[in-house]
Amino acid sequence: MMLLRFILTAWCAICASVATAHEFWIDAENYQVPPGAQIVANLKNGQIFEGTTLSYMTRSFTRFDLVQGDTVIPVEGRMGDRPALNVAAPMQGLISVVHETTPSFVNYKEWEKFLSFAAHKDFPDIAARHAAYGFPDVPFKERYTRHAKSLIAVGDGAGADSATGLKTEFVALSNPYEPTFDGGMRVQVLYLGAPRADAQVEVFDRPPSGDVVVTLHRTNGDGVATIPVAPGHTYLFDAVVLEPILNDDTAVWDTFWAALTFAVPLR
């Protein structure tokens, strides 16, 4: 088992390095907090649950909210704050932290790097699509945005996640903090509010030992995947949309990254 974990971790690290597939996620200090306690989380960019900690910078995001049902509370911080999220829990129950970034750009100078990235994120036909749209050979630019969500339990953590209007997002159909949670994490992947059928979901599973295991899953026709998770583990789910940019000279591809983080309590 330890050898398998090592192989999976090494394989993913190599793929991520080759494909420049750096994930972005909301990394909570504690995914369960008492009522009135601080909700503290970093914005992270990196690989295999390791990466750079980003500061609270208003120019870097278009949305940063705490969401519970119809209640939406913008995250107010000071420029340069790290952790970027450090607020008193405003209510008891399940809170979804949502964060949507402003666009960034990658300038591809090597065609193989783009192919590797696209293949890793489940777009094996990217070369044919690139040619069909008449896009130029390298160099060319890709524009990308991040659409992250994190599930935080305040007190009993009761409640349900829902669609929050992110361009692409995971909607948790299971609440991992509920006492009746059965270990099957059901999520639906949305893009522009519609389910993504047969979409790849990349799962990063961090146990207490810290030896991250990476697995791949797929959604069904309704955009839903059921992923087995374990008590005491922390998870990052990742799904990517890759769309052409037409009639625009800033870039030729748009990449939209959806991320979901949560932890499963020990029972």
pLDDT score for 69:
92
Two structure tokens written together for 254: 């748009």
Q: How many Å apart are CA 235 and CA 212, to the nearest integer?
A: 9
Q: What are phi and psi of 13, to 5 degrees?
A: -65, -40
Whole-angstrom distance, CA of residue 3 vs CA of residue 197: 34
192, two tokens: 């522009």
Q: What is the pLDDT of residue 228?
A: 98
For residue 237, what pLDDT is reported? 98
| Tokens linked to 205 | 């599973």
> Percent helix, strand and coil across the chain, each rounded to 5?
15, 45, 40
Tokens representing 23?
Answer: 């994930």
Q: Average pLDDT by consecutive 10-residue portion of the chain (267 residues)?
A: 38 39 92 97 96 97 97 96 96 97 97 96 96 94 98 97 98 97 97 98 96 97 98 98 92 98 94
Contact 257, 144 (CB under 8 A): yes
